Amino acid sequence: MLETIAVILIVLWLVGLVSSYTMGGFIHILLVIAIIVILLRFIRR
C-alpha cells in the first residue's frame, strides 16, 4: 500500500513539472513524502 501511495505521489509531482502548474512548494513536498515512504519501505524489508 505504501508503494502505491509513493508511486501516485511521484506521478503527481511529474505531472506538475510537465504541466508547469505548481501550487507553491506543494508539489515538491509531495515528492519528499514519496521518497520518504519509499525509503521506509526498503528499510522495513
Per-residue pLDDT, 19: 64
Dump pLDDT digits (tens) for 1-45. 777 887 887 787 777 666 665 555 676 777 788 888 888 888 987
Separation CA 21–CA 43 (nearest Å): 33
The predicted model scores a pTM of 0.49
Separation CA 29–CA 4 (nearest Å): 17
Per-residue pLDDT, 9: 79
Per-residue pLDDT, 22: 52
